[in-house]
Structure 1
Amino acid sequence: MNAKSRGISAMTAVVLVLACLLVPTPFVMADVTGTWEMVNDNFPNQTIAGAWANTENDVFVVGYSGTILHYDGSSWSAMSSGTSERLYGVWGTGPADVFAVGYTGTILHYDGSSWTAMTSGTSERLYGIWGTGPADVFAVGYTGTILHYDGSSWTTMTSGTSERLYGIWGTGPADVFAVGYTGAILHYDGSSWTAMTSGTSERLRGVWGTCSADVFAVGYTGTILHYDGSSWTAMTSGTSEYLWGVWGTCSADVFAVGYTGAILHYDGSSWTAMTSGTSGNLYGIWGAGLADVFAVGYSGTILHYDGIAWSAMTLPAVGYNCFWGSAPDDIFMGGGYGSSYGTIAHYDGTGWSTMLFGIGKVADMWGSASDDVYAVTEANGDILHYDGSSWTTVFSNGSNLHGIHGTGPDDIWVVGLYKIYHYDGSTWNDVTPTTTHQYRYWSVWCAAPDDVWVSSWNTAYTSDGLMHYDGSSWTLVYQYEDLDYSEIWGTAPDDIYVATEDDFLHYDGSSWSILSSSSATGVHGTAANDVFAIVGGEVWHNDGTGFSTVTNPYSNPSRVWCDGEGTAWFVGGDSLILKYTYTLP
């Protein structure tokens, strides 16, 4: 391909303007049924709000988007919670009896093998949970909600308050404390809850103690209270940060955590600040011993204290936005943000693991085989290659790259900010067409070396649209305003889809039509009768006769990829990773 042949044939372009006939694909009744599962990776960026440790080798943490992680003493792994609700509290009696609570009255139970939803009898947000045994568990939340579990069912208790309650702890079935909004502190004596005088109007978030005469409560503006068995008194914390969690091993070894990475320690006489190593907000703390304490918080932060210092256990926050795979047990996923928080993860059929971290945001991925996989990054403009054992940077233009696709190892196309590149098996060549305006190229898809489609956008809005390469020259074949953040995918030259911020488009080999005037963010499938799309925040599927909506119980995903054997993978905000298993048409 020479420079002369790369110019757009603007004078002879077959331009089909946006005013073309809108021919929506008719909707049909539900054509596919399957099972949804949320499979968050091991290092999600969801906020972690609660922690509980059974032993140093059996630690549970919970957080936003239904996140539940487990630590076995050597590594963290994600657990399937079956919900996308925010989870705030976790507590258990042993490895096969763990409870988690969260938004909309969510209560989950873990029996040692799986998490299942329990009937709570409320739709209020639940924040704290604690108990004395499998048949004596308390949960607290909004509007003074206090629930009790007797081993068979949850029932509502009369709290005597409408204040929000955030934390709960006790020494036994007849000695339980709950704390909450405007300095609220309640005590349960085994028969009823009564209000205590706290001496503060600050919001109290956490409570913990060693015995009925040695209880600590923490809250906003550095509030720390102590109960000696007769009254609550304020302690000098030395901070004005909001404090959310408190836990300890004894009366002379107590920790409190809060905003901007605040961790305080009490040695029996005074509170002192510890170096946490993070500026992110911390929301929960629990431990298994003097030298084995965990603190959790914003963007997936998990810290560990070994008796000497605090250290981070997790990678910085990431989010995923693209897939490619060679088989159901060989799937690559990319994402992240900025120039140094990009990541690539791999799925081996049993779980996700991080392959790369600290690169630029991964915008798109494609491969010809399991040992020939490419990823392109934004900000840095790198093209990365995986040879089956390691990732290396094979090309960089120092600018944003957005899309990649190919027909084989010697025919690969990459598009980005003002540039189109082609790989012929030996070198990467700049094949950007000569144009009047500078284009930002967003997505690329090829059916053959002489059938390549690219979406383009320029600030003049004069010639935005879909460009086609026929093996010799580029032609603007469909003028469409504002094709930034678009995605192209197809099953054949006469079956091509484009997802855009404004519409969902289709090409039948002769003309383009608008299937929907709602925002579309992703499209992928295995054949003309097995196409998934994300349109207007909904998941759509086409079985060859038309699109239908697929009921999705989780948060709205933004991208989709199908493995060809009955599994569709979806990603979205807050590191949402969904797995949809269905029967192929």
Structure 2
Amino acid sequence: MNPAWTHRVEVSLAALLGLILGACVAPLSLDDRSCPCGDGWTCCEATQMCVQPGATCQQSQQPPAVAPTLCLDENWCWENPTPHAHYYRAVWASAPNDVWAVGAPGMATHWDGQNWKIHRSATDQSLLALFGTGPEDVWAVGREGAVVRWNGKAWQAVGTGLTQLLLAVWGSSPEDIWVVGSGGALLHWNGTDWSRPPDALPHYYTGIWGFAPDDVRVISAEGNVWRWNGQAWVPEPGFASDRVWSLSGAEGVLWALDEKVDEGIWRVLRFVKGEWQVVHEERRRFTSIAALSADEAWVAGPEGAALHIGPEGIALNFLDVPENLAHVWASREAGLWMVGDSGQVMRKTDTGWVSMREGASKTVLGGWELNAAEAWSCGEQGMLLRWREGAWSTLASGTGAALHDVWGASPEEVWAVGAEETIVRSDGTAAALRRHVPGGAALRGIWGSGPTDIWAVGAQGRILHYDGQDWSVRESPTSVTLNQVWGTDARNVWAVGELGTLLHHDGTTWKVVSLEKPTRQAFRDVWGTGPDDVWVVGAQGSIRHFDGKRWETPVPFAKGELVGIWGTGPSDLYVLEAGEELVQGIPKAFTNLHHYDGKTWKGAAVPYGGRFNALWGAGKEPRIGGAGGSILHYQP
């Protein structure tokens, strides 16, 4: 099917939806309430927050940020990277020391010139656009009609009655805010009421920009343009487009970024002397444009690409970061900022572009803790991290292979294993490659009872042993991939793998363990507190427990993939669940952390989404690691 034709069908359907929904949003009276709530919503006096019909007002306003500053709530705190590893979709700044970035659900991140703070965004929807009229009046919009406002103290949920996808916001003052999006969404806030202009057309609006309260332009996905003259929206010259991505302006001149789908071309256009002119074309997936002046603009794009258009010419820059850059903000007062995937924030300085994100960014695949002050993690492309003195630091591992798991006998003897039978050893300050077999089996788990008794397991039933001198291949009773190994001592070691495989080593040989209730589901991890308390977890909520005599099948408490298990004792056990569920027909990743108190399991969602793969300790508390270098510390 022709992509451009498909897009036009989607736009037409969105327009029809807008006609249906239009009657629901105009006018939206506030009845002289102080916070910007739509009709039927309640403004809570104590919190100045809008709540839906039937909801209860809280007694006091939540703090704008939690301490420490990189904690998401009272339980979850980011350790790596800083400020976090979730995606951004928009950035706005009033000054170099007042910068906001939004994107992933539930969070808004602020830079005060010295430090980052993570704030609750007052919505569980992704936020896609951001604009402010000053430090105490910042607006963000996003999916499912989400509108939130920063009042200088906290983010407020704003009720408008909209449920469409909202893509842009602009305003000239706190009493003049415009919000636009799909399905004909076009609303105006005048400081007292939300209203829909009666002459607004049901288009798929993708951008809005203004130079004054009576000089505002809105643009549709097809390139149609209208101007607000203070009284009505009137048509202006536009241009034919398959998808307009972004609209910006400076010194009275408009700039736009669009896509010609059939040709695979992204174009930069400028409105000069009553007509749109194509300034530049690029076969690169750019997503946002920001104008600095009538003849200068920046464009954000994939894999750290940044396009600069100025009086001296056009230059394509690569900012030395791998992440896709989703949005750019530019102003003479605040400077140039770009944001994108995996928490990436770029800032233009006198010496060039610099990343404002600190820490490793490769996916975390494994972790291990010696004690509260000493821990290690590993991941894709040979990533090896050490936790010491309250921070994570990167060690060169000597390999580019994915490292799946890490374990140590002491801070001076740490081992990591990974793809192609890769084995790396670190003395705590440096690391070196000790084994690598091109085309060899991927090693997925490592554990030892001491420095002269270390086991590694992996694909094709591969089992290796280290005796303090050399690594050697040991006879394996299976050809099935083994995912993890753990034991209580040299004579009691367990390994788990695909197809419900469970192995035991008694100090002499490895043997297959037959379960009373066999399963074909993969086992992902094994951990315990002693010979009579061993747990195995795996796919589709699979769980087994060994009491020293027999393997039992506890009642399942989850349906997703149980990817990790760790604890401090029989009545303090954690299990990490990762999975995917359909939300309105769209796959959405989720992660839950379950706790066992010796009697019952209790689960809680890891906030703000993201994929996590590993679970290990932080003293008496758990850590989890995952995509984008994410390492979170849970404080019960």
Tell me, yes or no, if the aligned pair for 1:46 and 1:575 is still in contact at 8 Å. no
User: Which one of 520, 543, 563 corresponds to residue 618 of structure 2?
Assistant: 563
Alpha-carbon offset, residue 264 of structure 1: 4.0
Number of matched pairs: 529
Alignment partners' CA distance in 1, 2:633 and 2:233? 44
Aligned pair in 2 of structure 1 residues 549, 298: CA closer, same or farther (>3 Å)?
A: closer
User: Which one of 559, 564, 568 corresponds to residue 526 of structure 1?
Assistant: 568
What does residue 8 of structure 1 align with?
A: none
Alignment partners' CA distance in 2, 1:450 and 1:564? 27
State the one-letter code of the partner of 2:539. E
1:429 and 2:468 are equivalent in the alignment: no
User: Which one of 453, 456, 478 corresponds to residue 514 of structure 2?
Assistant: 478
1:334 and 2:334 are equivalent in the alignment: no
Alignment partners' CA distance in 2, 1:284 and 1:316? 22
1:507 and 2:551 are equivalent in the alignment: no
Alignment partners' CA distance in 2, 1:219 and 1:241? 11
Alignment partners' CA distance in 1, 2:395 and 2:232? 54
Alpha-carbon offset, residue 318 of structure 1: 2.2
Tell me, yes or no, if the aligned pair for 1:498 and 1:505 is still in contact at 8 Å. yes
**Any idea what SS the aligned residue of 1:143 has?**
coil
Aligned pair in 2 of structure 1 residues 449, 548: CA closer, same or farther (>3 Å)?
A: same
Residues 409-440 of structure 1 show CA distances to partners (whole Å, capped at 9, x for unaligned) of 5543322345433445x4343262254x5453
Alignment partners' CA distance in 1, 2:175 and 2:365? 43
Alpha-carbon offset, residue 368 of structure 1: 5.0
What does residue 125 of structure 1 align with?
A: 165
Written as runs of structure 1 = structure 2, the 5 A alignment for 1:69-80 is 79=118
Alpha-carbon offset, residue 453 of structure 1: 0.7
Tell me, yes or no, if the aligned pair for 1:44 and 1:319 is still in contact at 8 Å. no
Alignment partners' CA distance in 2, 1:406 and 1:117? 51
**Any idea what SS the aligned residue of 1:104 has?**
helix
Alignment partners' CA distance in 2, 1:195 and 1:205? 20
User: Which one of 329, 335, 357 corresponds to residue 286 of structure 1?
Assistant: 329
What does residue 504 of structure 2 align with?
A: 468
Aligned pair in 2 of structure 1 residues 490, 277: CA closer, same or farther (>3 Å)?
A: same
What does residue 454 of structure 2 align with?
A: 412
What does residue 89 of structure 2 align with?
A: 49
User: Which one of 215, 220, 225 corresponds to residue 175 of structure 1?
Assistant: 215
Residues 475-514 of structure 1 show CA distances to partners (whole Å, capped at 9, x for unaligned) of 2223656575611111222221112224222222222233
What does residue 540 of structure 1 align with?
A: 594
Residues 245-287 of structure 1 show CA distances to partners (whole Å, capped at 9, x for unaligned) of 222322222223446766444335x963424367975432223
State the one-letter code of the partner of 2:618. D
**Any idea what SS the aligned residue of 2:240 has?**
coil
Alignment partners' CA distance in 1, 2:83 and 2:287? 23
Question: Which region of structure 1 is more displaced relative to structure 2, 176-185 or 352-361?
Answer: 352-361
Q: CA RMSD in A?
A: 4.1
Residues 104-153 of structure 1 show CA distances to partners (whole Å, capped at 9, x for unaligned) of 3444556778x6453343443333333334554444333233455667x8
Alignment partners' CA distance in 1, 2:189 and 2:450? 59
Alignment partners' CA distance in 2, 1:330 and 1:108? 41
User: Which one of 203, 228, 231 corresponds to residue 274 of structure 2?
Assistant: 231
Aligned pair in 2 of structure 1 residues 102, 321: CA closer, same or farther (>3 Å)?
A: farther
Tell me, yes or no, if the aligned pair for 1:282 and 1:296 is still in contact at 8 Å. yes
Tell me, yes or no, if the aligned pair for 1:36 and 1:552 is still in contact at 8 Å. no
Question: Taking every aligned residue pair, what percent have the same amino acid on both sides?
Answer: 25
Alpha-carbon offset, residue 45 of structure 1: 6.2
What does residue 323 of structure 1 align with?
A: 367
Alpha-carbon offset, residue 382 of structure 1: 2.4
- Higher relative CO (CA 8 A, sep ≥ 6), structure 1 or 2? 1
What does residue 449 of structure 1 align with?
A: 490
1:494 and 2:532 are equivalent in the alignment: yes
Written as runs of structure 1 = structure 2, the 5 A alignment for 1:145-224 is 145-148=185-188, 155=194, 157-158=196-197, 160-212=200-252, 214-221=253-260, 222-224=266-268
What does residue 376 of structure 1 align with?
A: 417
Aligned pair in 2 of structure 1 residues 507, 384: CA closer, same or farther (>3 Å)?
A: same
Alignment partners' CA distance in 2, 1:88 and 1:581? 30
**Any idea what SS the aligned residue of 2:222 has?**
helix
**Any idea what SS the aligned residue of 2:280 has?**
coil
State the one-letter code of the partner of 2:377. M
Aligned pair in 2 of structure 1 residues 392, 511: CA closer, same or farther (>3 Å)?
A: same
Alpha-carbon offset, residue 444 of structure 1: 0.8
State the one-letter code of the partner of 2:594. W
State the one-letter code of the partner of 2:256. A
Normalised to the residue count of structure 1, the TM-score between the two structures is: 0.75
Tell me, yes or no, if the aligned pair for 2:577 and 2:593 is still in contact at 8 Å. yes
Tell me, yes or no, if the aligned pair for 2:465 and 2:474 is still in contact at 8 Å. no
Alignment partners' CA distance in 2, 1:112 and 1:381? 52
Alignment partners' CA distance in 1, 2:77 and 2:220? 32
Alignment partners' CA distance in 1, 2:353 and 2:291? 15
Normalised to the residue count of structure 2, the TM-score between the two structures is: 0.70
**Any idea what SS the aligned residue of 1:478 has?**
coil
User: Which one of 126, 129, 136 corresponds to residue 89 of structure 1?
Assistant: 129
Alignment partners' CA distance in 2, 1:120 and 1:476? 60
Structure 2, unmatched stretches of 5+, are 1-72, 261-265, 580-591
Tell me, yes or no, if the aligned pair for 1:292 and 1:307 is still in contact at 8 Å. no
Alignment partners' CA distance in 2, 1:563 and 1:260? 34
Alignment partners' CA distance in 2, 1:386 and 1:487? 26
State the one-letter code of the partner of 1:474. W
What does residue 14 of structure 1 align with?
A: none
**Any idea what SS the aligned residue of 1:545 has?**
coil
What does residue 30 of structure 2 align with?
A: none
Aligned pair in 2 of structure 1 residues 242, 361: CA closer, same or farther (>3 Å)?
A: closer
Tell me, yes or no, if the aligned pair for 1:241 and 1:258 is still in contact at 8 Å. yes
Tell me, yes or no, if the aligned pair for 1:61 and 1:68 is still in contact at 8 Å. yes
Residues 170-191 of structure 1 show CA distances to partners (whole Å, capped at 9, x for unaligned) of 2233322233322243433345
Alignment partners' CA distance in 1, 2:250 and 2:388? 44
Alpha-carbon offset, residue 443 of structure 1: 0.4
What does residue 103 of structure 1 align with?
A: 143
Tell me, yes or no, if the aligned pair for 1:247 and 1:255 is still in contact at 8 Å. yes
Tell me, yes or no, if the aligned pair for 1:395 and 1:428 is still in contact at 8 Å. no
**Any idea what SS the aligned residue of 2:318 has?**
coil
Alignment partners' CA distance in 2, 1:169 and 1:411? 66
Tell me, yes or no, if the aligned pair for 2:94 and 2:334 is still in contact at 8 Å. no
Tell me, yes or no, if the aligned pair for 1:275 and 1:310 is still in contact at 8 Å. no
Aligned pair in 2 of structure 1 residues 169, 306: CA closer, same or farther (>3 Å)?
A: same
What does residue 395 of structure 1 align with?
A: 434
Alignment partners' CA distance in 1, 2:294 and 2:385? 45
Tell me, yes or no, if the aligned pair for 2:93 and 2:334 is still in contact at 8 Å. no
Aligned pair in 2 of structure 1 residues 188, 581: CA closer, same or farther (>3 Å)?
A: farther
Question: Which region of structure 1 is more displaced relative to structure 2, 551-560 or 497-506?
Answer: 551-560
Alignment partners' CA distance in 1, 2:535 and 2:364? 22
**Any idea what SS the aligned residue of 2:282 has?**
coil
Alignment partners' CA distance in 2, 1:560 and 1:490? 14
Tell me, yes or no, if the aligned pair for 1:376 and 1:384 is still in contact at 8 Å. no
